[in-house]
Chains A and B, each alone.
Chain A
Amino acid sequence: MKKTIATIAALGYFGVSFLLVGGLWYLWYRTGPAPLQPIAFPHTVHAGRLQIPCTFCHIFADRARSAGAPPLEKCMGCHKTIATEKEEIRKLTRHYEERRPIEWKRVYALPDFIYFSHKRHVKAGVECAMCHGDVAGMKRVRRVNELIMGWCVSCHRVRGAPRDCATCHK
C-alpha cells in the first residue's frame, strides 16, 4: 500500500512538472514578446528591404508621447496599387473599405505609473533600435527588452539624462 502511494506520488510529480513546462509554454504563447498580429505586417519588407524610415509610418514618434500606428489611408496610399493580389493586402483593403480599424496587438507596454515620451528620446538622438532592436530583421515584431527600471536608469546615467524619480513617475 505504502509503495503504491509512493509510486503514484512519484509518477504524479513527473507528470506535474511536464504539465508545468507545457503550461509555461502556453502562458508564454499567450502573453509572450511576439504576439500574433491581425495582419501579418512584415517589417522585413518595409523597414528592411525598402528601407522606409520608421517615422514615415510611426509619424508621432518625434512629436508625441506615443509613436502611433499609421492610419489605414497611409497603408492604402501605396497598397491601392502595390501587391494587391496578396491575401494580407486583401485583408487590409477590406478593413479600409469597411472603415474598420485594425486592432494591432501591443508589443511594448509600460505600466500606468510610468510617464514615457517617444518625442524626448527621439529628439535626444536615441535610435529606435536601441530599445526596439533590429525591427527591420523581424518578420513578426517581438519585444527584445523587458523595459525594467534598472535598464532605463542605466542609460539615463550614461547619457546624463535626468534621474529624478519624478522624471518618469509623475
Chain B
Amino acid sequence: MNPLALPPAMSPDTFLVLRYLLIAALLLYLPFLGIVIAGSAASLALNFFGREDRDEGALRLSREWIEAVTVNRWVLLLLGLLPYPAVAYLCLRILGGRTSLPAIAWIVPFGALLVGCPLLSLYRSAIRRTGEPPAAPFRAGTAGLLATGFASYLMFLLLGVLADPAKLPLVRSNLVFLFSWHSLVGFLLFLALSFGLAGGIALRFLGRSKAGEAGADPGYDARVRTAGTSFALGGALAAPALVVLYLVSLPATGMSAGVFVMAAAVPVLALAVFAPLSLLPGNGERTPGDRVTSLFVLMFLAVILCYQAAVGNAFQGLSAPPGPLAAAGAVSKGGPETEKPAAGDAAALEKGKKVYDAVCSVCHRFDVKIIGPPYNDVVPKYKGNVEKLKAFIRNPVKVDPSFPAMPKPPIKEDEIDAVARYLLFTVKVGK
C-alpha cells in the first residue's frame, strides 16, 4: 500500500462532523483526565511528606484533594476510561482508517488507562479508610499516576499525528512515533492547564469552613489556599510560554487566523487568572475558586479549538480524491468510446483525439455542457460536410447567444482537419 496515498474520499460534511465530535470528546475528556493527573500528583506528594513529617493537615489535604478531583470511584473509572476509545476511534476515522500507525498509538494508551485508573481508585479508597495509610496504597497510587500520565502522553502523540498528517508516512516504527516536538509541547501545555485547574478546584471546594463552624480549622484553610493558589499561579505562568512554543511546533500548513486568535486568548485568560490572585492588595481576592476554575476551563477550550482549527487546515486539500487533477489520462474521460475506425483513418483520428484532449476539451465535452455546448448537440448538423465544420473551427462565430463566443483555437491547418474528422466520427447522431 502506498502510505502517501490520499485517504479514501471523505465528504467535507463527514469530516466536519468527525471534527466536532472530537472537539466534544476532548472537551469532556482532557480537563477531567488533567485534574485527575494533577490532583493525584498533588495528593501523592502531600501524602508522602505528610507521612514523613506526621503532618495531619497535609494528610487531610491529600485525601480531600483527590476526592474533589475524582468526584467518586465510579466517575473516576467511567469518565477516565470510556471517552478514550471514542477519541481514538475519531482520530483513526479522521486519518481515513489508515492503520499504518503502530499499535502503541492507540491500543497501548487504553491498556495503560485500564491499569492506571483502577490503581488510582484503589489509592483513593485506601487513604479514605485510614487516617495514616501504609506505604502500599501510596505505591499503587504512584504506579497508577505514572500509567495514566503515560497513557495521556501517548494520546497526545496520536492527536499530534492529526495536526501534521504529512508526517504520517514517516511514522514507521514505535521509536519514531514516541517522540514529536509538537506532541511533547502539547502534553506540557495540557499539564500546565491541568495543574492550574486542579488548583482552582482546591480553591473552590476545599477548606471553606466558616468561622465558628464545628470543625473549622483556619490553619488548614490557609494551607488549602496557599496550595491552590500556587498551583493556579504556576499553571497561569507556564501556559502562555507553552502556547507560543505550541504555535512554533505546528506545521505552517496547519495555520490559519483562527489558530492564532485561539492561541492569543490563552495569555489573556492566564493574565486574568494571575493578576487578581497575586497583585490585589491584602494577599489577593477572598474567594477566587469559581473564577480560577472557569478561566482554566476556558483555556482548555481555547487550546482545543486552536488544535482543531490546525487539524482542519492540515487536512484541507488532503482529504479529497484526486479526480480531475490527474495530469494524464483524465482528459479522455469526456469522449465516449469510439468504434473501431477504418485502418487508414486510424492515424488521423488518433491525431484528432490528441488535439481534442489538448485544446477543445477545455471547453467542450461530448455529452455535457462545460463552457461551450456539448458536441452531441452541435456537431451532428455538420454530418457529411467536414469542410463547413473546418471553416467554423478556423473562424468561429457566435451562434447561440446563451454561450460565450468561441475564441479562435491555436491549432494548425492539419490539426483542424484531424480534429474535425475526429469529432464527426465520434459524435453520436440523433441524440
Give residues in A with beta carbon < 8 Å to B: 7, 10-11, 13-14, 17-18, 20-22, 24-25, 28, 31-33, 47-48, 50-56, 61-62, 73, 77-78, 80-83, 122, 127-130, 132-138, 142-146, 150-151, 154-155, 158-159
Cα(A145)–Cα(B166), bound, Å: 6
Cα(A13)–Cα(B167), bound, Å: 33
Which residues from A are CB-within-8-Å of B371? 50, 78, 82
Which residues from A are CB-within-8-Å of B78? none
Give residues in B with beta carbon < 8 Å to A: 2-6, 166-167, 169-170, 172, 237, 240-241, 243-244, 247-248, 251-253, 255, 257, 260, 263-264, 267-268, 270-271, 274-275, 278-279, 316-320, 322-328, 330-331, 358, 361-363, 370-371, 404-407, 409-410
Provide the main secondary structure of the chain A interface. Answer: helix
Cα(A74)–Cα(B335), bound, Å: 23
Cβ A146 vs Cβ B362 within 8 A: no
Provide the main secondary structure of the chain B interface. Answer: helix
Which residues from B are CB-within-8-Å of A18? 240, 264, 267-268
Cβ B247 vs Cβ A24 within 8 A: yes
Which residues from A are CB-within-8-Å of B331? 53
Cβ A80 vs Cβ B317 within 8 A: no
Closest beta carbon of chain B to A93's beta carbon, Å: 14
Cα(A14)–Cα(B264), bound, Å: 11
Cβ B358 vs Cβ A56 within 8 A: yes
Closest beta carbon of chain B to A165's beta carbon, Å: 18
Cβ A158 vs Cβ B2 within 8 A: yes
Cα(A48)–Cα(B325), bound, Å: 9
Cβ B325 vs Cβ A128 within 8 A: yes
Cα(A18)–Cα(B260), bound, Å: 10
Closest beta carbon of chain A to B159's beta carbon, Å: 19
Cβ B240 vs Cβ A25 within 8 A: no
Cβ A7 vs Cβ B279 within 8 A: yes
With A130-B5, A146-B251 already in contact, 7 other A-B pairs whose C-beta atoms are closer than 8 Å: A14-B270, A32-B255, A52-B362, A55-B327, A77-B409, A142-B316, A145-B166
Cα(A133)–Cα(B367), bound, Å: 28
Which residues from A are CB-within-8-Å of B323? 136
A127-B327 contact given A134-B317, A134-B319, CB 8 Å threshold: yes
Cβ A143 vs Cβ B252 within 8 A: yes
